[in-house]
Structure 1
Amino acid sequence: MVVFANREEAGKLLGEHLKTQGLEVDLVLGIPRGGVVVAKEVSKVLHVSMSLLIVRKLGVPSNPELAFGAIDPEGRIYTDRWTIEYFRLSQEEIKRVAEEELKKIREREEKFLKGKELDVRDKSVLVVDDGIATGQTVIAGVEYLKRKGTKRVLVAVPVCPLESMRKLKEHADEVYCLHTSESGSFAVGMFYRDFRQVEDSEVEELLKDGVL
């Protein structure tokens, strides 16, 4: 099994891989918070500006780490029907979680982007995260960017399950994953020796060159 030392190493390796593919993009977008660390390294290798794509996972109330869907900055919800049915989530529960997460999106937009509108029209954009589990959050981000008028939306991650990669390819123009896993049990943290939580202050430090 491939194991990365930390998100920085994963980002450098991912960036080098993308470079060998001859990838050309106008902008790299990291998904906060862990994805921003990886995206920063990718943007350095590719010599491309970086900003943030602030989308949020919608977690099952009894198990918040488990996603039943995701929400984008416009408040559009993307859900996994099977998970909702399995946990018998009501429309009220879904609405409550979505409202909480949209509030967090607004807070992060203000904190990290200083209220700046993300300008992606007619650009080739690369979305980067530290890994993908279900893919719900990244799909929400990809669809949001397409509605914002991007020319092309590409996705790159250090690790993801094969099934999620297949699902993502139905939404993104191209998907790059350094290590695809066919294992039944999958968690992004399994593939990192250091997978500690990234703090807001670290994200702000990574963005100190300014965001577009």
Structure 2
Amino acid sequence: MTAFVRFRDRSDAGRQLAQHLLPYRAEAPLVLGLPRGGVVVAYEIAQALQAPLGVLVACKIGAPQQPELAIGAVAPGGIAFFYAHALHALGITPEEARQLARQAQQELERRMQRYQGNQPLPEVRNRTVIVVDDGLATGATALAAVRALRLQQPRRIVLAAGVCAPETAEMLETEVDDLVCVAMPEDFVAVGQWYEDFRPVSDEEVMALLEAARRWNPPNRAE
């Protein structure tokens, strides 16, 4: 049994993660949270690093009868993928997969409009970008997000999460320049088990945090 003690909530996870990320403060990073829960964690990191905060929207593709089970994900820039083993295990046909991807793309577009609206996208080219989530279970959404981000040619991509499944960490380490997690417990089952308070985060909470961050650190501030 791991000795890791659960986080009180996502803000607590963000404060703990920030301590591991302090060396990146000198690189004037951009912090991007994965909505919704990742934005709460990212807000604390952005404050600690005195960095601008934004969102990086990606949407998981859920299994037909188990929508919470991620079998793939979509992200901006035409990024879409499925875990081949999941399609095989669930008997999902190519046409069913295409339909699931279309539905996820529609949700992606809704979220991008909801969270970003007319706000300009942060400039990431030749910049260190820290992508943040509350936890990484299958890693599908994070994987799609960092692949979309890579298309914009950042100098460095750092993926940070409060807790991560060890096998997922091994997979994601090949996709980013640095992976930072407070804990990678061997007895990982689900992200929520490592939080005392893991209540759902609303769109309104996400937008309130982004607005608060804009007041103290505009996203495209000259560094």
Per the normalisation by structure 2, the TM-score is 0.89
Report the equivalent of 2:126.
122
Unaligned runs of 5+ in 2: none
Deviation at residue 75 of structure 1 after TM alignment: 3.0
Deviates more, 1:154-163 or 1:16-25: 16-25
RMSD value, Cα: 1.6
Please give the alpha-carbon distance, in whole angstroms, between the structure 1 residues aligned to 2:200 and 2:70: 18
Please give the alpha-carbon distance, in whole angstroms, between the structure 2 residues aligned to 1:83 and 1:191: 25
- Is the counterpart of residue 8 in structure 1 residue 7 in structure 2? no
Please give the alpha-carbon distance, in whole angstroms, between the structure 2 residues aligned to 1:84 and 1:23: 43
Residue 174 of structure 1 aligns with an amino acid whose one-letter code is D
Q: Deviations over 1:106-145 (max 9, x none)?
A: 1121121114334211111000000000111111111111
Q: Deviations over 1:65-109 (max 9, x none)?
A: 111111111232122111110001112221112111111211121
Q: Secondary structure at the match of 1:89?
A: coil
Report the equivalent of 1:162.
166
Residue 100 of structure 1 aligns with an amino acid whose one-letter code is Q
Deviation at residue 24 of structure 1 after TM alignment: 3.5
Change (3 A) 1:147 1:8: same
Deviates more, 1:148-157 or 1:88-97: 88-97
Change (3 A) 1:142 1:25: farther
- Is the counterpart of residue 83 in structure 1 residue 100 in structure 2? no
Q: Deviations over 1:141-170 (max 9, x none)?
A: 111111111111110111001111111110
Kept after mapping to 1: 8 A contact 2:124/2:153: yes
Kept after mapping to 2: 8 A contact 1:25/1:125: no
Amino-acid identity (%): 36
Change (3 A) 1:208 1:21: closer
Equivalent residue runs for 1:28-107 within 5 Å: 28-107=31-110
Kept after mapping to 2: 8 A contact 1:2/1:179: no
Deviation at residue 20 of structure 1 after TM alignment: 5.9
Deviates more, 1:110-119 or 1:187-196: 110-119
- Is the counterpart of residue 131 in structure 1 residue 139 in structure 2? no
Please give the alpha-carbon distance, in whole angstroms, between the structure 1 residues aligned to 2:76 and 2:116: 13
Q: Secondary structure at the match of 1:195?
A: coil
Residue 146 of structure 1 aligns with an amino acid whose one-letter code is R
Per the normalisation by structure 1, the TM-score is 0.94
Kept after mapping to 1: 8 A contact 2:25/2:50: no
Report the equivalent of 1:26.
29
